[in-house]
Amino acid sequence: MTGFFSSEAAWTIWFTLRVAALATILMTPPALAVAWLLSRKTWTGKSIVETLVALPLVMPPVATGLILLKLLGRRGVLGPDLERLGIDVVFTWKAVVVAMMVMSFPLLVRGARIAFDDVNPRLEQMARSLGAGEARVLFTMTLPLAIRGIVGGLLLAFARALGEFGATVLVAGNIPWKTSTMSLAIYNFVQIGRDDRAWPLLAVSVTICFLAVWIGETVVSRRGRLV
């Protein structure tokens, strides 16, 4: 890789992969929790929560980015507290992860929520009456039975994380060797008219996407063999 790519490009690719993966992993538990609540419980203001979840899709990324900046920035809402804790997010890799998480959250929630809706509650009931506690029901019934939708959602989320630009560039900046993801680098190359350097990076993200899709397919069909 480093043979063909400048060491900076190589770093960017590797960095992007890690933050996108990390963002997806960190996002999964809360996203599944929200999806589960939306699917299984009825409560007032459900549509409102659903809307909030969908917001990062609806708002132009720059707006999401600005809001995140106003939250996390040194003059922001949480900024001062974070600073006191010695955590600074803005313009660090942490900001990239946060931006990616926020932007791809809706995709996983939707996918998982619909998958949970389609799980036959009688199976969960039967599991309970065979002595399974809620945790066991979740891990032996709900999640495995919803795996298709979850994997699908994870794919979308990961893909989105790879492609995220608008929000990231605001909260994380576009700092080579520090916060510059493939999307940011590509954008920058396009800006300065160096398409020749943009295409290779684009090819890489396409390849990564292909691998992700392919892995997802196999995971699902592996489970599929039984079902």
Partner 1 sequence: MLRIVHVELPLGEFPLFAHLDMESRVTAIVGPSGAGKTSLLETIAGFLTPRRGRIELDGEILLDAEAGRNVPPRARRVGYVPQDDTLFPHRTVRRNLTYASDAGRDSPAGEFDRVVAVLELEPLLERGISKLSGGERRRVAVGRALLSHPRLLLCDEPLAGLHPELKVRILSYLKRVREEFSIPMLYVAHDAAEVAMLADEVVALERGAVVGRGAAKSFAWSEGMNIRTARRPEPSAQP
Partner 2 sequence: LGLGLFASPAGAAEIRVSAAASLTEALQEASAAWNAQGGEPIAFNFGASSLLARQIEEGAPADLFFSADEAKMDGLAAKELIDRKTRKSLLSNSLVLVVARERGAHVASPEDLLKPQVHAIALAETRSVPAGIYAREYLTRKGLWNRLSGRIVPTENVRAALAAVEAGNADAAIVYRTDALVSKKVAVAWEVPVSEGPGISYPAAVLTAAKNARGARAFLAFLESQAGTAIFRRHGFLVPR
> CA–CA separation, 186 vs 180, rounded Å?
10
The verdict on 18 binding partner 2 (CB under 8 A) reads yes
Alpha helices, DSSP H, located in the chain: 7-40, 46-58, 61-72, 79-84, 93-117, 121-129, 134-137, 143-145, 147-163, 166-171, 182-191, 195-226
Contact 34, 41 (CB under 8 A): no
> Which of these segments, 15-23, 27-35, 39-47, 107-115, binds partner 2 (CB under 8 A)?
15-23
Report in angstroms how near the CB of residue 120 gets to partner 1 at its nearest.
Answer: 8
Angstrom distance (rounded) from CA 102 to CA 99: 5
**Are 95 and 175 in contact, with CB atoms under 8 Å apart?**
no
Contact flag: residue 156 with its own copies (CB under 8 A): yes
Residues 71-90 close enough to bind partner 2 by CB under 8 A: 72-76, 79, 88, 90
Per CB under 8 A, contacts with its own copies among 197-216 are 198, 202, 205-206, 208-210, 213-214
- Distances in Å between the Cα of 133 and the Cα atoms of 17, 56, 63 are 37, 35, 43
Q: How far apart are CA 109 and CA 114, in angstroms?
A: 9
Counting contacts by CB under 8 A, is residue 42 touching partner 1?
no
Selected binder of partner 2 within 36, 91, 105, 116 (CB under 8 A): 91
Question: In the complex with its own copies, which residue's Cβ is closer, 45 or 86?
Answer: 45
- 149 contacts 219 by C-beta, under 8 angstroms: no
Contact with partner 1 (CB under 8 A) among 41, 75, 84, 122: 122
CB count in 10 Å sphere of residue 173: 16
Look at residues 42, 36, 39, 98 and name the one whose alpha carbon lies nearest to residue 67. Answer: 98
Q: Which of 95, 96, 159, 172 binds its own copies (CB under 8 A)?
A: 159
Give the interface with its own copies as residue ranges (CB under 8 A).
46-48, 50-51, 54-63, 66, 106-107, 110-111, 113-115, 117-118, 148-149, 152, 155-156, 159-160, 162-163, 165-166, 182-184, 186-187, 190, 195, 198, 202, 205-206, 208-210, 213-214, 217, 220
Give the interface with partner 2 as residue ranges (CB under 8 A).
18-19, 21-22, 25, 62, 66, 69-70, 72-76, 79, 88, 90-93, 169-170, 173-178, 188, 190-194
